Amino acid sequence: MITVFPARRGPGPLQATALALAAVAAAIDQAAKVLARARLETAVDLTPFLALRLGFNPGVTFGLFADAGAAGRWALSGVTLLIIGALLAWIWRTRSPLTAAAAGLLVGGASGNLIDRLRFGAVTDFIDLHWGDAHWPTFNLADAAIVCGVGLLLLTARGVNGEASSPIPGRSAL
């Protein structure tokens, strides 16, 4: 008896678009960081609340784990790779364009910061939002992609009419 296995489905247009979005987000982030490292010797005030100021974060959000040293760097890199892998699996399985775009932005942002962490031991930050002397921690375009990806995921958790979406079509999660 011959057993016929269905052909393995490759990535469709939705997955290709999400992966392209991830690649573009990471590439733009890396290009901006190259410019920041090359040209930002001193801070540049763009508006009363926005400046470009070069900084390096060896930790994660808000400088957490910044004092962890080389072991922390590799641990953070490993965790980031696991997260990227999980997000890629999600992209592979989703049928939702919004979820695919969100995961693509998350992969692109995480990849952009991972590249910095592996190359330089710290993530390059250069965007400084502030109000007077109150400064938000500096960030970069990878961080912005991650925030936008999370925002899109939050939108997918709610239906268009404001009800929570359900994994079962036609049923409300409430």
Residues 7, 91: contact at Cβ < 8 Å? no
Band (161; pLDDT cuts 50, 70, 90): very low
pTM: 0.80
User: What is the secondary structure of 85-135 as a DSSP string?
Assistant: HHHHHHHHH---HHHHHHHHHHHHHHHHHHHHHHHHSSEEEEEEEEETTEE
Percent of the chain with pLDDT over 70: 78
Whether the per-residue pLDDT at 95 is higher than 60: the answer is yes
Map tokens 């190359």 to a residue: 119
User: If DSSP codes are grouped into helix, strand and coil, which group holds residue 41?
Assistant: coil
Angstrom distance (rounded) from CA 95 to CA 105: 16
Residues 58, 66: contact at Cβ < 8 Å? yes
Q: Which of 8-12, 58-62, 125-129 has the largest mean confidence?
A: 125-129
Catalytic residue positions? Answer: 125, 143
**What's the chain's length in residues?**
174
Letter string b/e over residues 47-86, b meaning 16 or more CB atoms within 10 A of that residue's CB: eeeebbbbbebbbbeeeeeeeeeeebbeebeeebeeebee
Lowest mean pLDDT among 54-63, 83-92, 93-102, 117-126: 54-63
Residue spans of the domains in the chain: they are 13-156
Q: In the prediction, which pLDDT does 6 show?
A: 54
